[in-house]
Every structure is written in C-alpha cells, then in structure tokens.
C-alpha cells in the first residue's frame, strides 16, 4: 500500500508540472496580449503596460516566467490584482463559500444518486425505474444553467419555497438550491452508473455462489452486489469532488454567490489574467489531489489494485 501511494505521488508530479505549465502557457503565451486585455477598450498606457510586464515577469523568456510563477505559487504568492489587493486574499475570501456549496452538492448527488441508482438497478423494469431513468436522462440533457433558471423561477420566484439568490454570506437554505443545481448532472450520471453496475454485477458468478451458500437475498445484495458496484461509483464521486469546485461557476453566477466561480467569472470579464491563472492552477491542484485520494480509496476498496 505504501509503495502504491509512493508510485502514485511520483506519477502525480509530472502531471502537476505539466498542467500548471499548460495553464500558464494558455494565459500568457497564446496570441492575444494579456496586458492589452487588461486595458480593455481603453487606450494602452505604455508606461503602465511596461510596469505590469515587469511585475509579471512578462519581459523575460517564457520558461523563466513560468519558473518564477511556479516559485511564487509555492509560497502562495500569486501577485496583486489591478486594485492592488493580493490575489491570494481575494481567493481566500471566496473559497469558503464555494467549499460549502461544493460539499453540499457532493452530499446531494452522492445521497440521491446512489439511492435512486440502487432502487433503479435492483428493480429493473418497474415503473419507478422508468421514471428515475427518464428524469436522469432529462437532467443530463438540460444544461445546468437552464435547470438553474427553471428552479430559480419555480421554487424561488413562483412558489417562494427557497431564497431566489444567495448574496453575501449565505446560509444553508440559501445554498440549498444552488447546490442541487450544481450536483444535478453528476447525480444523474451516478444514477446511471450505479444502475448499470448493479445490473451487471447481479449476474456475476460469485453472486450465484453466494446464493448457493444459502445466504439471504438481503445479505447477498449488500455484501456481493452493492459492495462491488460501489467501487466505480465511489471513484466517480471522488473525481467529481474536484470537478465540482470548477463547475460551481454556473451555479454561482445564476444565484449570485460570491464564491470562486463568481470570482473567476468576474476576473475573466475584467481581464484579470493573473487572477484567472491562479484560480485555475489552484483548482487543477485540488482536482489532482482529489484524484490521488480516489486512487487510494480505490486501493482500499478493491484489493486487486494494490497488487497490480
């Protein structure tokens, strides 16, 4: 297990380096001048531009730029915004609410996804299986922002069940609807994944062997069908935890939540490249770390992985 962990961490290093390099290159090296973008439609003040270039090391060769960025990033020094605020402070301000939102969405999708997936997988062909399937298909087909608007309109505006927008310092109820919107697509995927895993595992030979032992249907299902079916589902969930943070943008925009997604969106509109690259780097790191955790979890759940 220790060896496996070490191997995975070693494999992670080139991925982290490559990903940050890629993100950095996309922002600062692509055609299209980020400094020019900062000025937006205003005329460019050459002196200010030069100052900015120097501040972000844009006057140095690309690879040096990247290495300096990396060095600064390691000390969480991501530079300043146009307004002179340290980028890291802005991020630190926005992060807690996104984490809250992400975790709520995660719990929502895990709970309902797995429960409905199991119901649907065990009772294939029943009417509620069909309903669950159709709803999950719809959730996947309808873009998140449409789902978001519809929920906002009906649940918030028309029926006044939940707050329409979240605003500053939102509480649990404020975040409930955004979290459901954020988790809805993944929930649908989890339903489909659990369902197909269960229906393929239930015809495995070892399930028949378990029945031949005289075990009750309940323990056969729990110990042999569900236990094995949940391995890929948990893998999916783990990867999704990292992706949820990045995907929060839509939900945060619709419900006016001042989290990381909102910040990213605003920074893009304002052309704050430095902020964008910092956030994307951070989110990518979170994603990679989540994947590592998933791999570890996977090895715990499936003894074969440890061996291979």
Partner 1 sequence: MSDKNHQDDDMTDFAMNETSRSSVTSGTGTVLPGQERYVASLDETPLHEVDSMDESAPASNMWTDAWRTLRRNPLFIVAGVLIVFIVFVALFPGVFTHQNPNYCQLEHSLEKGGPGHPFGYDTQGCDVFTRTVYGTRTSLSVGLLTTLLVVIVGTLIGGLAGFFGGWIDAVLSRFTDIFMAIPMLLGAIVVLQMFRTSSSIWKIVLVLTLFGWTQTARIARSSVLETKNLEFNTASTALGSTPLRNLVRHILPNSVASIIVVGTTSLGSYIVSEATLSFLGIGLPSTTVSWGGDISNAQAILRTDPSVLFYPSAALAITVLAFIMMGDAVKDALDPKSRTA
Partner 2 sequence: MSDVANNDIVNNADAPVLPAETEDRLSAMQREQGPILDVKDLKVDFITDDKREVHAVRDVSFNVYPGQWVAIVGESGSGKSTSAMAVLGLLPGTGHVVGGSIKLEGKEISHYSRKQYEQILGEKMGLVPQDPMSNLNPVWRISTQVKEALKANHMDISHEKRSKLAAAIAEAEGDINLKNVDDETFLGSKELPGLLEAAATALDKAGVRDGAAERAMARFKQEGVPGSETRWRVAEELIKAGVGDDEAWRIAKKYVIGSTMDDRIAGLLDEAGLPDAATRARQYPYEFSGGMLQRALIAIGLACRPDLLIADEPTSALDVTVQKKILDHLHTLTDELGTAVLFITHDLGLAAERAQHIVVMYKGQVVESGPSLEVLQHPQHPYTKRLVAAAPSLASQRIISAHERGENAEALMEHHAKGEDTLEKSEHIITVNHLTREFKLPRKKEMFKAVDDVSFSVKRGTTLAIVGESGSGKSTVANMVLKLLEPTSGTVTYEGEDISGFKGAKLLDFRRHVQPVFQNPYGSLDPMYSIYRSIEEPLRIHGIGDAKSRRKRVEELLDLVKMPRSVMQRYPNELSGGQRQRIAVARAMALDPDVIVCDEAVSALDVLVQDQVLRLLNDLQAERGLSYLFITHDLAVVRQIADEVVVMQKGRLVEHATTDEVFDHPQQQYTRDLLDAIPGGKLKLGLD
Of the candidate residues 10, 30, 83, 212, the single one contacting partner 2 (CB under 8 A) = 212
Give the one entry of partner 1, partner 2, none that residue 213 binds, where binding means its C-beta sits below a cut-off of 5 to 8 angstroms depending on kind: partner 2
Of the candidate residues 113, 178, 238, 247, the single one contacting partner 1 (CB under 8 A) = 247
Distance between first and last Cα of the chain: 11
Q: Is 81 helix (H, G, I), strand (E, B) or coil?
A: coil
Q: Is the separation of the CB atoms in 44 and 36 below 8 Å?
A: yes
Binding mask 150-189 for partner 1 (x = CB under 8 A): x-xx---x--------------------------------
Of the candidate residues 56, 105, 117, 195, the single one contacting partner 1 (CB under 8 A) = 195
Give the one entry of partner 2, partner 1, none that residue 84 binds, where binding means its C-beta sits below a cut-off of 5 to 8 angstroms depending on kind: none
Tokens found for residue 128: 């509620």
Give the one entry of partner 1, partner 2, none that residue 236 binds, where binding means its C-beta sits below a cut-off of 5 to 8 angstroms depending on kind: none
Q: How far does Cα 210 stand from its chain's mean position? A: 38
Window contacting partner 2 (CB under 8 A); options: 55-63, 145-153, 182-190, 300-308? 300-308
Q: Rank residues 158 and 304 by Cβ distance to partner 2 and give the closer one.
A: 304
| Helix%, strand%, coil% for the chain, nearest 5 | 80, 0, 20
Instruction: Return the closest-CA partner of residue 5 out of 301, 207, 298.
Output: 298
Q: Is the separation of the CB atoms in 90 and 275 below 8 Å?
A: yes
301's enclosing H/E stretch is helix 273-301
- 210 lies in the site for partner 2, by CB under 8 A: yes
Q: Rank residues 207 and 279 by Cβ distance to partner 2 and give the closer one.
A: 207
Of the candidate residues 138, 227, 232, 277, the single one contacting partner 2 (CB under 8 A) = 227
Give CA–CA dist 120/191, Å, rounded.
8
Overall size of the chain counted in residues: 308
Backbone angles phi, psi at 169, to 5 degrees: 50, 60
Q: Which residue has the tokens 């999950």?
A: 136
Instruction: Return the closest-CA partner of residue 259 out of 153, 170, 151, 163.
Output: 170
Where on the chain is the footprint of partner 2 (CB under 8 A)?
203-206, 208-217, 219, 223-224, 227-228, 231, 301-304, 307
Where on the chain is the footprint of partner 1 (CB under 8 A)?
11, 14-16, 18-19, 22-23, 26-27, 30-32, 34, 37, 133, 137-138, 140-146, 149-150, 152-153, 157, 192, 195-196, 199-200, 243, 246-247, 249-250, 253-254, 264-265, 268-269, 271, 276-277, 280, 283-284, 287-288, 291
């Amino acid at each position: 297990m220790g060896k496996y962990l070490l191997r995975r961490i070693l494999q992670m290093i080139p991925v982290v380096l490559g990903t940050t390099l890629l993100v950095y290159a996309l922002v600062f090296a692509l055609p299209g001048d980020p400094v020019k973008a900062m000025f937006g439609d205003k005329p460019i003040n050459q002196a200010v531009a030069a100052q900015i270039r120097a501040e972000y090391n844009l006057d140095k060769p690309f690879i040096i730029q990247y290495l300096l960025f990396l060095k600064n990033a390691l000390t969480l020094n991501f530079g300043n915004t146009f307004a002179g605020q340290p980028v890291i402070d802005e991020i630190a301000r926005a992060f807690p609410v996104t984490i809250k939102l992400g975790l709520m969405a995660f719990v929502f999708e895990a709970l309902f996804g797995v429960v409905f997936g199991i119901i649907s997988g065990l009772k294939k062909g029943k009417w509620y299986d069909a309903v669950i399937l159709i709803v999950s298909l719809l959730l996947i087909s309808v873009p998140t922002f449409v789902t978001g608007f519809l929920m906002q309109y009906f649940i918030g505006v028309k029926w006044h069940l939940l707050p329409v927008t979240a605003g500053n310092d939102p509480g649990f109820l404020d975040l409930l609807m955004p979290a459901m919107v954020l988790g809805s697509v993944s929930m649908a995927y989890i339903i489909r994944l659990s369902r197909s895993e269960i229906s393929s595992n239930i015809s495995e030979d070892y399930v028949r062997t378990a029945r031949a032992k005289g075990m009750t249907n309940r323990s056969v299902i729990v110990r042999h069908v569900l236990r094995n079916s949940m391995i890929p589902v948990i893998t999916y969930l783990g990867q999704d935890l990292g992706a949820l943070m990045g995907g929060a943008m839509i939900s945060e925009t619709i419900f006016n939540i001042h989290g990381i997604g909102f910040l990213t969106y605003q920074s893009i509109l304002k052309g704050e490249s430095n902020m964008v690259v910092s956030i994307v780097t951070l989110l990518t790191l979170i994603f990679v770390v989540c994947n590592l955790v998933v791999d570890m979890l996977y090895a715990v759940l499936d003894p074969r992985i440890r061996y291979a």
